Amino acid sequence: MTVIAELEHTRFWPGAVATALDDWALVTREPTKQHCEAESVCGSLRCCPDLDLAHRIFHAVARALPAKDAELFWRKLAEQHDWPQRWLS
Protein backbone atom coordinates (compact mmCIF):
# COMPACT_ATOMS: atom_id res chain seq x y z
CA MET A 1 0.00 0.00 0.00
CA THR A 2 2.92 2.33 0.59
CA VAL A 3 3.90 2.07 -3.08
CA ILE A 4 0.39 3.01 -4.17
CA ALA A 5 0.13 5.89 -1.69
CA GLU A 6 3.47 7.27 -2.90
CA LEU A 7 2.43 6.91 -6.53
CA GLU A 8 -0.85 8.69 -5.89
CA HIS A 9 0.97 11.46 -4.03
CA THR A 10 3.63 12.02 -6.69
CA ARG A 11 1.81 11.32 -9.98
CA PHE A 12 -1.94 11.42 -9.48
CA TRP A 13 -4.12 12.35 -6.49
CA PRO A 14 -5.15 10.65 -3.24
CA GLY A 15 -7.61 7.90 -4.10
CA ALA A 16 -6.69 7.77 -7.81
CA VAL A 17 -6.33 3.98 -7.88
CA ALA A 18 -9.66 3.44 -6.13
CA THR A 19 -11.32 5.89 -8.53
CA ALA A 20 -9.86 4.06 -11.54
CA LEU A 21 -11.08 0.72 -10.18
CA ASP A 22 -14.55 2.14 -9.50
CA ASP A 23 -14.73 3.72 -12.96
CA TRP A 24 -13.85 0.50 -14.75
CA ALA A 25 -16.18 -1.54 -12.52
CA LEU A 26 -19.02 0.85 -13.42
CA VAL A 27 -18.53 0.18 -17.12
CA THR A 28 -18.07 -3.58 -16.84
CA ARG A 29 -20.96 -4.00 -14.42
CA GLU A 30 -23.55 -2.22 -16.52
CA PRO A 31 -24.02 -3.40 -20.11
CA THR A 32 -25.68 -0.11 -21.02
CA LYS A 33 -22.35 1.61 -20.44
CA GLN A 34 -20.42 -0.49 -22.96
CA HIS A 35 -20.50 2.51 -25.29
CA CYS A 36 -17.96 4.13 -22.94
CA GLU A 37 -15.32 1.88 -24.48
CA ALA A 38 -16.44 2.79 -28.01
CA GLU A 39 -15.81 5.91 -30.07
CA SER A 40 -19.23 7.27 -29.14
CA VAL A 41 -18.38 8.29 -25.56
CA CYS A 42 -21.02 10.72 -24.36
CA GLY A 43 -18.54 12.87 -22.42
CA SER A 44 -20.25 12.74 -19.03
CA LEU A 45 -17.84 11.48 -16.37
CA ARG A 46 -20.84 10.16 -14.42
CA CYS A 47 -21.80 8.00 -17.37
CA CYS A 48 -18.53 7.53 -19.24
CA PRO A 49 -15.52 7.80 -16.93
CA ASP A 50 -12.08 8.42 -18.40
CA LEU A 51 -11.03 4.83 -19.07
CA ASP A 52 -7.79 5.89 -20.74
CA LEU A 53 -6.79 7.60 -17.49
CA ALA A 54 -7.76 4.48 -15.55
CA HIS A 55 -5.58 2.44 -17.92
CA ARG A 56 -2.61 4.79 -17.35
CA ILE A 57 -3.10 4.56 -13.58
CA PHE A 58 -3.18 0.75 -13.67
CA HIS A 59 0.00 0.61 -15.75
CA ALA A 60 1.72 3.07 -13.39
CA VAL A 61 0.76 0.88 -10.43
CA ALA A 62 2.07 -2.25 -12.16
CA ARG A 63 5.38 -0.51 -12.96
CA ALA A 64 5.74 0.71 -9.37
CA LEU A 65 5.15 -2.72 -7.82
CA PRO A 66 7.74 -5.50 -7.60
CA ALA A 67 7.36 -7.86 -10.60
CA LYS A 68 5.65 -10.64 -8.63
CA ASP A 69 3.15 -8.20 -7.12
CA ALA A 70 2.53 -6.54 -10.48
CA GLU A 71 1.69 -9.91 -12.00
CA LEU A 72 -0.76 -10.61 -9.16
CA PHE A 73 -2.25 -7.11 -9.59
CA TRP A 74 -2.99 -7.73 -13.29
CA ARG A 75 -4.29 -11.24 -12.62
CA LYS A 76 -6.70 -10.02 -9.93
CA LEU A 77 -7.95 -7.22 -12.17
CA ALA A 78 -8.52 -9.65 -15.04
CA GLU A 79 -10.40 -12.05 -12.75
CA GLN A 80 -12.68 -9.36 -11.40
CA HIS A 81 -13.44 -7.46 -14.58
CA ASP A 82 -14.03 -8.17 -18.23
CA TRP A 83 -10.91 -6.42 -19.50
CA PRO A 84 -10.58 -5.49 -23.16
CA GLN A 85 -7.68 -7.43 -24.66
CA ARG A 86 -5.80 -4.19 -25.47
CA TRP A 87 -5.61 -3.43 -21.73
CA LEU A 88 -3.73 -6.59 -20.90
CA SER A 89 -0.54 -5.51 -22.64
Q: Could you list the residue range(s) of the whole structural domain that residue 62 is in?
A: 2-88
Where does the pLDDT of residue 73 fall: very low under 50, low under 70, confident under 90, or very high at 90 and above?
A: confident
CA quadruple 80, 81, 82, 86: dihedral sign: negative
Q: Which pLDDT score is estimated for 84?
A: 55
Q: pLDDT by residue (tens digit) across 26-68? A: 777 765 555 555 555 565 656 667 778 888 999 999 999 999 9
Residue pair 24/54 in contact by the 8 Å Cβ criterion: yes
pTM of the predicted model, to two decimals? 0.74
What is the total count of domains within the chain? 1
User: What pLDDT score does 55 carry?
Assistant: 86
String of b and e for 61-70 (b: at least 16 CB within 10 Å)? Answer: bbebbeeeee
